[in-house]
Structure 1
Amino acid sequence: MGKESNAILGLLAGTAIGATLGILFAPDKGSNTRQKLADEAATARDRMTEGAHHLRDQVKETVTHKKESLDHQLNSIVNDVSHKTEDVITSLENKLSDLKAKNKKYQKS
């Protein structure tokens, strides 16, 4: 995404600079040149706004995808830990049962 956003910004900047230089070096009246510059500036602003919105949408999509992936991984980890915890508890209960049985033998003696 970094290369793509740099490419978009470079393209927009190059377009704006090229249009501005073309207008400045074109033989025309000052009022016409100023109007063309204003029009090109508005066009460049609109393109940059569109590019920024596109970039924002890409970032939002990437973040959403990463969040979903992390949520899935977290749920998987919690599920695994829950199963392991259940296994440990069962094992401890079995050991406790064995210890209680041994203790009863010693108390009878």
Structure 2
Amino acid sequence: MIQVKGALVLGTLIGTGIGLLVAPKKGSETRSNLKREGSVVKDKLVNDYKEVTDTLSKATTSGKEKARKRFSDFKVKASHKTEKAITYLEKKLALLKEKNKTFQQTS
């Protein structure tokens, strides 16, 4: 998108230059045309800059929101996995306690 806009601005500048070279006008008219064309090019550049910065800002905001969502999903999944691991370890600990009781009784 930026390349297309750059090409449009470049085309405008080249067209203006060629138009000045082939147009038989007075110097005052040529200067007036240059000012007008320069103003148009400046306005296009300012608008293009604003559009690009707005697009980048929206992309950044969207990226932040996606990252937050993914992190939140990760926390939920990690919490579930942790809970399963704790439950498994508690069961194994209970089995070990039972085995240990049998050793204590035989002595």
The interval holding the TM-score normalised by the smaller chain is 0.7 to 0.9
Q: Which residue of 2 aligns with 1:29?
A: 26
**Does the 8 Å contact 1:20/1:40 carry over to 2?**
no
The equivalent of 2:49 in structure 1 is 52
The 2-side partners of 1:78 and 1:55 are apart by 34
Identity over the aligned pairs, expressed in percent?
36
Q: Secondary structure at the match of 1:28?
A: coil
- Please say if residues 12 and 48 of structure 1, whose CA atoms lie closer than 8 Å, have aligned partners that are also in contact: yes
Task: Give the Cα–Cα distance (whole angstroms) in 2 for the partners of residues 24 and 61 of structure 1.
Answer: 43
Unaligned runs of 5+ in 1: none
Give ranges in structure 2 of 5+ residues lacking alignment. Answer: none
* Amino acid paired to 1:25: V
Q: TM-score, normalised by structure 2?
A: 0.88
Instruction: Report the alpha carbon displacement of residue 91 of structure 1 after superposing the two structures with TM.
Output: 0.8
Q: Distance in 1 between matches of 2:30 and 2:103?
A: 106
Picking from 38, 44, 47, the partner of 1:41 is 38
- Inter-partner Cα distance in structure 2 for 1:74 and 1:13: 44
RMSD: 1.4
